[in-house]
Structure 1
Amino acid sequence: MATIKPFRAIRPGNTNNTTTALAEKIAALPYDVYNREEAKAEIIREPLSFLRIDRAETTLPDNISTYDDLVYDRAKELLEEMINKEQFIQEEKECFYIYELIMNGKSQTGLVACASIDDYQNGVIKRHENTRTDKELDRIRHIDSCNAQTGPIFLTFRGSDRIKNILNLNKTKEKLYCFTSPDGITHNVWKIDDIEEITTIKEEFEHITSIYIADGHHRAASAIKVGMKRREEHTNYTGKEEFNYFLSVIFPSEELMIMPYNRVVKDLNGNTLEEFHAKVSEYFTITFLGAEPYQPTGKGEFGMYLKNGWYKLKIKKEYEKKDPVAGLDVSLLQDYLLEPVLGIKDPRSDKRIDFVGGIRGLRELERRVQEDMAVAFSMYPTDIQELIAVSDKDKLMPPKSTWFEPKLRSGLFIHKI
């Protein structure tokens, strides 16, 4: 049984009747999509970007560490400043919201709600990735300092017709926000404040036994840890306090799109080109394709780019796996090429490997090999049903297995705790 609740969102205001215009300026890609230099450039382009708050170090001198206490104090100060200027307003009563994103004509529609930290703890909300302590600590401090969750967690569930019908009915009403971001993604938002509809949605989720984290594992883990910390600080807590819940957007699984998460490696691990080819051919059939970039068209296929051109790799039949984790393409590449041939034992910590989101395209892989890497691999995207199967088995995927597009924007909804 999943517990979700409406909330009094802090959201872009309607000063001078410019609600959508202000939301468009504030809405920002997730904080971890950018490095510090890229985030600074984005804030120069759009001074109201929520990155000012999510990455407050960009408003401070370069010699101040990203993790300095001043950064988290600055984030709190900037958030309060925007609230005081009524660039952000707080909803007068608890609501749900509908958040639709349209990319290349494909729409996905999610429910903006608060999910329960207890559901995360007891396994109703399932994860498929490990998290890193250092990345968690950053968001823990950010949430704690701001006294708010500023980045929504991307959740998914096996769809409910009744929930879809309510969302579709409300999508015929007046939009709260409607804009197209610089990357061409259309963002539409509606508010659900009808008590009967709110009650129906909550009741429908009570029949849902599993919700899955699609994206935002570090944000989720950090929100939960802040919530548990607040429980320790408030020993008489009732469970109804806002810190017992975390900001989420929940999408039906059938609407989601996963792009490949490609790999690039610094060197050939001491192998000559001939030795490398020989070792790879033990596990894969290799076909040379020349200059034309290759995007795999099915499971068990990989593109490989070296400075002399593109190759198609296909895992040999005897190395295919039926296990939900071992059978993933990212696992096959890791187990039969990256580790035994290239010596990448731990892709989380090895500095010789880097990961390139599929949104950047295959030409980005070529660029990296020409500039600072030796070999690149284009992947076939992980399927959403593979993600669910791994999560249902309480197993974990290898790092960087999924790249979801389009990305949820931060700054449209803030959950005060």
Structure 2
Amino acid sequence: MAFIKPFKAIRPTKDKVSFVASRSYEEYSKDELKSVLQYNPFSFLHIINPGFKFHKNITGKERFHLVQNRYLEFLEENTLKKDEDASFYLYQIEKDDFKSLGFFCACSVADYRNDIIKKHEDTLKHREELFADYLHTVGFNAEPVLMTYADNEVVWDVFQQETQRKPVYDFTTTDRFNHSLWKISNKESIAKLEAAFAEMDALYIADGHHRSASSNLLAQQMESENKGHNGEEAYNYFMAYLIPESQIRIYEFNRMVKDLNGFSKEEFLIQLDAQFRIEKQEEGPLRPSKKHQFSMYLGGEFYSLYLRNINYSFSDALSQLDTQILYKTILEPILGISDLRNDKRIAYGYGKNNLIQMKDSVDNGKFAVGFSLMPTTIEEIKAIADAGLVMPPKSTYIEPKLRSGLAIYEL
């Protein structure tokens, strides 16, 4: 059973929410970040970039303490306020034909440890420790873990009932996304959601493996420091955004490699011929149309690569994943790339125009070859997580991407 609980969120006041909410820090260009910090004093970015106030780049422990100070300032100035009652927070993101509806809640680190919360990615120990130290110092968590679950009629009925009410937030951001948030504080709806999730066997992390791992590490540290530990402390939980499987979108990452590992174009194609049926495409750009088919851009031409099953063994869920197939048949044995996370010869691209951008990157000589894949499916993610396996890095780009600062969980 999955355990969820409501919490008393720290939230922006209604008149400032559109100014406070920010995209993930990594999504801002250097110039855009500077502009937001200079002209929007209410942006959540001021909290996580405290050095801007002092015209200084501050790192390490000093930065963590200043983040806490900026957070306290936002509270003191009533830009942020704490809710009086524990609630779930239903949050909808909408743009054009894309709409997602899920909710913020507190999830249990015990569920993470007991594999009720399923993982499909490896984490780096130093990043776990760094973020756990950050959380311990600042005392709040503003970056929810995105998790998904099998569509549930009871949960969806509660969602539909709650969205009939007027949202506490309803605003549009400059990227033309509309954001709506409803506070679920009535006991009946809370009880229905808790009971529905108590009957679920698993939740699946879609985005936020390091954040969940760090929250688990933090809980272990704080429990060891607390002689009166009883299991109900805030650090025993972490903030998550739970969303039905049908409400997420999964996109692919392209792979681009800087050289052919000493092979000429013709020699490289011969190497590929052992594992793939190769067809040159007269028209492009070309996107793969089915699993185990890859689009390759090489020397100004697109090729379709069709896996020869006779020379490749499907032994488990991971071996059937296209990112793993590409790694095991081309990237590692032919191009000599064994470390997909750290090798500087490989780069990744995603987004609406990523195929065109891949082509341009090869044409201008930045890369020698590019590969495009079909997106990973939610069924593949679940099969790998259920088997306790780990997907290659950059196997999924998942939406929605949540705004920071809408709901904050105090530790």
TM-score tier after normalising by the smaller chain length: over 0.9
> Is 307-316 or 72-81 further displaced after alignment?
307-316
State how far apart, in whole Å, the 1-side matches of 2:405 and 2:372 are.
Answer: 33
For 1:340, which of 324, 333, 340 is the aligned residue? 333
Does the 8 A contact of 1:10 with 1:415 survive in 2? Answer: yes
The residue matched to 2:317 in structure 1 has which SS? coil
User: Structure 1 residues 188 and 291, CA, compared in 2 at 3 Å: closer, same or farther?
Assistant: same
Deviation string, structure 1 residues 334-382 (Cα, Å, up to 9, x no partner)? 0001011110111122121122223452222123322522222112100
The residue that corresponds to 1:389 in the other structure is 383
Pairing 1:149–2:141 present? yes
**Superposed counterparts of 1:92-107, under 5 Å:** 92-107=84-99
Pairing 1:368–2:393 present? no
> Is 294-303 or 134-143 further displaced after alignment?
134-143
What displacement does 1:253 show?
1.2
Q: Which amino acid aligns with 2:4?
A: I
What displacement does 1:140 show?
1.9
User: Structure 1 residues 245 and 301, CA, compared in 2 at 3 Å: closer, same or farther?
Assistant: same
State how far apart, in whole Å, the 2-side matches of 1:401 and 1:38 are.
Answer: 28
The residue that corresponds to 1:173 in the other structure is 165
User: Structure 1 residues 44 and 326, CA, compared in 2 at 3 Å: closer, same or farther?
Assistant: farther
Structure 1 unmatched ranges of 5 or more: none
State how far apart, in whole Å, the 1-side matches of 2:21 and 2:83 are.
Answer: 18
For 1:252, which of 227, 230, 244 is the aligned residue? 244
Deviation string, structure 1 residues 83-124 (Cα, Å, up to 9, x no partner)? 111111111110001011224323221121000010001111
Q: Which amino acid aligns with 1:24?
A: S
User: Structure 1 residues 42 and 325, CA, compared in 2 at 3 Å: closer, same or farther?
Assistant: farther
For 1:293, which of 268, 285, 288 is the aligned residue? 285
TM-score when normalising by structure 2: 0.93
**Superposed counterparts of 1:116-195, under 5 Å:** 116-195=108-187
User: Structure 1 residues 360 and 56, CA, compared in 2 at 3 Å: closer, same or farther?
Assistant: farther
Q: Which amino acid aligns with 2:383?
A: A
For 2:192, which of 174, 189, 200 is the aligned residue? 200
Pairing 1:83–2:61 present? no
User: Structure 1 residues 58 and 228, CA, compared in 2 at 3 Å: closer, same or farther?
Assistant: farther
For 1:329, which of 315, 322, 328 is the aligned residue? 322
Does the 8 A contact of 1:128 with 1:213 survive in 2? Answer: yes
The residue that corresponds to 2:235 in the other structure is 243
Deviation string, structure 1 residues 190-229 (Cα, Å, up to 9, x no partner)? 1101012112211211111101101011111112211221
What displacement does 1:128 show?
0.4
User: Structure 1 residues 416 and 360, CA, compared in 2 at 3 Å: closer, same or farther?
Assistant: farther
* RMSD over equivalenced CA pairs, Å: 2.1
State how far apart, in whole Å, the 2-side matches of 1:175 and 1:270 are.
Answer: 59
The residue that corresponds to 1:2 in the other structure is 2
Does the 8 A contact of 1:223 with 1:246 survive in 2? Answer: yes
State how far apart, in whole Å, the 1-side matches of 2:401 and 2:203 are.
Answer: 19
For 1:265, which of 252, 257, 268 is the aligned residue? 257
For 2:303, which of 289, 295, 311 is the aligned residue? 311
State how far apart, in whole Å, the 2-side matches of 1:310 and 1:170 are.
Answer: 50
For 1:356, which of 349, 361, 369 is the aligned residue? 349
The residue that corresponds to 2:25 in the other structure is 31
Does the 8 A contact of 2:254 with 2:354 survive in 1? Answer: no
TM-score when normalising by structure 1: 0.92
Q: Which amino acid aligns with 1:326?
A: S
State how far apart, in whole Å, the 1-side matches of 2:394 and 2:54 are.
Answer: 31
Q: Which amino acid aligns with 1:9?
A: A
The residue matched to 2:320 in structure 1 has which SS? coil
Structure 2 unmatched ranges of 5 or more: none
Deviation string, structure 1 residues 279-322 (Cα, Å, up to 9, x no partner)? 12221222222562222121111221234132222212322626
